[in-house]
Amino acid sequence: MSDKKTKTRDQIDQKYKWNIESMYPNEADWDKDYNAVMQMSDEYVKYSGRLGESAELLLEAFQEKDKIWQVAEKVYVYARMKLDEDNRVTKYQAFSDKCHTLLAKASASMSFFTPELLEIPEEKLLGFIKEEPGLKLYEYLILDILREKAHVLSKAEENILAQMSEVTSATKDIFSMLNNADIKFGTIIDEDGDVVEITHGKYINFMESYDRRIRKDAFERMYEAYKKQINTIATTYNYNTKTDAVSARIRKYDSSLAATLSSDNIEKEVYHNLVDVVNKNLPTLHRYMKLRKKILGVEELTMYDVYVPLIEIPDKTVSYEEALDIMRAGLAPLGEEYLSKMNKGIEAGWIDVYENEGKTSGAYSFGSYDSMPFILLNYSEKLKDVFTIVHEMGHSMNSDYTREAQPFVYGGHSIFTAEVASTVNESLLMQYLLKNETDVNMKKYLLNLYIEEFRTTLFRQTMFAEFELLTHEAVERGDVLTAEWMCNEYEKLNKKYFGEVISEDEYIRYEWARIPHFYNSFYVYKYATGYSAATAISNKILKEGKTAVHNYIEFLKSGESNYPIELLKIAGVDMSSPKPIEQAMETFEKLVDEFERLV
């Protein structure tokens, strides 16, 4: 893979491609499943108005619903992943388009289910569970639906809200169109003297450049573009936040935060614990920023100096086979069973390794309940790619364990827990590399990389979470989110988080305007809580050994069989308490201490 020209898919050796054909060895079977879902969806309306007739009928309706979604998921995943192999193939473009119709059809056919289930008197519904043993499987799901009963409206009202969703979700689409299609950031002169257009993808590479002029130019061009659009973006975000507040009010929640957390049955204290503990530990981040200024040797530390790596290392290639060996060594603390399952997965064809023309960029773990937990990579033989493999393998192993242990209805993962398995793997790999590295410069590089993971995931996402809280509380007080108010509040937050060592500039106040996650409200905090939980779990595994590994594997098997907070307790972490976040902060402080000693 040393030549620079991107290969076509047929030029990639088969051993580096995923075994997606295992899903549908004959694509005629894909058509059969597609048509079966369409037919089953048409027939599902026979249960409408009848769910309360008997325990047997309710069980049948649950089972049929699962069957439809299980087949629909497989059909969709195959189409999506075949398209990801080469997005230019019209056959799979058509497959993927057909799946959107399929999923909409299935959703519409079952839209009556939850409102009608809630119309059954609670005593009668609980009696059904006692009467029909098969309903015991669905008891957790039924109780969860009942928990939300006070916030579910009548059939007619729910129908109105469902129809209005296309309108109420418009702000996200408007921002996406502006941010990805219309806004232009201009060009800069790169290291080679070439004129290069700034894009979202290239921006972070410019921010990591060792040429400070490039960082400054890219930073200023980027935020100048947002500054020019700031009133439009502020209006869009204002109405996005208003939609959250109105929706929460209609559904009888006391706040937008409570409404959002309710789906995972998470108390508001979990969110506030995160913000409070991170705020108490900001002095350590400020110390690291001062160290950054010292190492860079700049008179003033600016926001465009924040992402450049502090330690330079020679370019070193890591072959894919070497990467797998490093992964095996790094994940050895998870035990023989974990490694054996992982190795079998690699041999069976979980992973699609190299880039090819038309292939979807980035990396992911994906699959259906009935398929392998596939991994898409675009491996480029860099150290960061090793971390990517380990990260995605964490997701895939989580899926593999869950699908073996759980029925389809609980075979997925909530966002709150999903990132834990991937981040535990990254943490174990990092600690393995640090422990075994003998080159001092490389050790400094790894420490800096680890510190930056904490900064960008735990601190930065918590700062975003705090900004979301400010904006939603303002709207709930009846305030209007003006561009000036949001820029001022964001600037204060940025100063609080980064400390006095960062010199003031006229641009960072516009950063909030480029964050797409703000249109998926109260989402980013899950990155920070997940990172904290993963840090606590990986430390437990390394300190306690087999007992901690056993508990962690049990967590990996749990899927969505309980609420996220309860599932994480299986692995020995209680996220309703501030303790895991405090422990993560202690780890961060130790890393900064060690880095400071070495530099």
Show the 3-state SS of 120-186. CCHHHHHHHHHHCHHHHHHHHHHHHHHHCHHHCCCHHHHHHHHHHHHHHCHHHHHHHHHHHHHCCCC
What's the pTM? 0.90
Residue 502: phi, psi to the nearest 5? Answer: -80, 125
Residue 268 pLDDT:
95
Task: Centre a 10 Å sphere on the Cβ of residue 14 and count the other Cβ atoms it contains.
Answer: 8
CATH class of 19-168: mainly alpha
State yes or no: is 392 an active-site residue. Answer: yes
> To which residue do tokens 């960072």 refer?
508
Q: Which two tokens stand for residue 363?
A: 């990396």
Walking along the chain (599 residues) 10 residues at a time, the average pLDDT comes out as: 70 97 96 97 95 97 98 96 93 91 89 91 96 97 93 79 77 87 91 89 89 96 96 96 95 95 94 97 97 96 96 89 98 98 98 92 93 96 93 97 97 92 96 95 94 95 97 95 97 96 94 94 93 96 96 98 96 96 96 95
Q: Where are the domains of the chain?
A: 19-168
**What element of type H or E holds 197?**
strand 195-197
Positive or negative, the CA dihedral 201, 207, 211, 217 is positive
Q: CA–CA separation, 426 vs 347, rounded Å?
A: 22
H-state helical runs in 437-524:
440-453, 460-476, 483-498
Annotated active-site residue in 220, 392, 419, 476:
392
Q: Checking phi first, is residue 573 left (phi over 0); if not, alpha (psi -120 to 50) or beta? A: beta
Residue 164 pLDDT:
80
Determine the residue type at 417. Answer: T
Residue 2 pLDDT:
39
406-407-413 Cα angle (round to 5)? 60
Task: Centre a 10 Å sphere on the Cβ of residue 247 and count the other Cβ atoms it contains.
Answer: 18
Residue 187: phi, psi to the nearest 5? Answer: -130, 160
